[in-house]
Amino acid sequence: MTTKGPFTGYSKGDEISIIGGDYKGLDGWLWNEKRDTPKFQYVIVATSAGEIGTRVKKSSVVQRRRRPANRVEAALKMHSDIEAMLTKVCKKLARCDLTGDEPELQTLFHQKMVDAHNQQMAEGKDALFFAVASYDDEDDNNL
């Protein structure tokens, strides 16, 4: 279900970013007049062709971040595909009745990150790095 704009008589809700599906990488707003379903959320997406009203999976919607507070948030904001993969992994772990509060899970994730970073560094000049812009609060123009 997609409704193309321009819309009249609707109000935009919270600002969102879409991290999966057909509108991945775009920003928009929650669609206040539409009621969510258990799996879907109604949104207004800002596309190059104008605003479009549609529904997307709830897992594809994240609150839009204005300015990242740290380097991790900056990386996830700039590379929404990474956030989508992280969300997918967390959902699978939740199916195992893990809450994220388990120290063993945090230790495992930390070790996996250390191992991955060491492998990346071992690539030397052949390593591929993603750019992550500055997240300094004093510079509003970075992201």
**Of 2 and 89, the one with more pLDDT:** 89
Measured CA to CA, the distance from residue 131 to residue 5 in angstroms comes to: 34
| Model confidence band, residue 2 (pLDDT cutoffs 50, 70, 90) | low
User: CATH says 2-63 is which class?
Assistant: mainly beta
Complete DSSP assignment for 74-97? HHHHH-HHHHHHHHHHHHHHHTTT
pTM metric for this prediction: 0.58
pLDDT in tens, 87-135: 889 999 999 999 999 999 999 999 999 999 999 999 988 988 887 776 5
Measured CA to CA, the distance from residue 86 to residue 60 in angstroms comes to: 12
Contact criterion met (CB below 8 Å) for 79 and 60: no
Residue in the block written with tokens 């549609």: 54
Strand ranges (E), the chain: 2-4, 12-18, 27-31, 40-47, 50-57, 61-63
Task: Reduce the DSSP state of residue 16 to 3 states and report it.
Answer: strand
pLDDT in tens, 17-65: 888 888 988 889 999 888 889 999 999 998 888 888 889 999 888 887 6
How confident is the model at residue 96, as a pLDDT? 95
| Model confidence band, residue 8 (pLDDT cutoffs 50, 70, 90) | low
The C-alpha R_g of the chain, in whole angstroms, comes to 18
How confident is the model at residue 134, as a pLDDT? 63
Contact criterion met (CB below 8 Å) for 80 and 65: no
How confident is the model at residue 142, as a pLDDT? 44
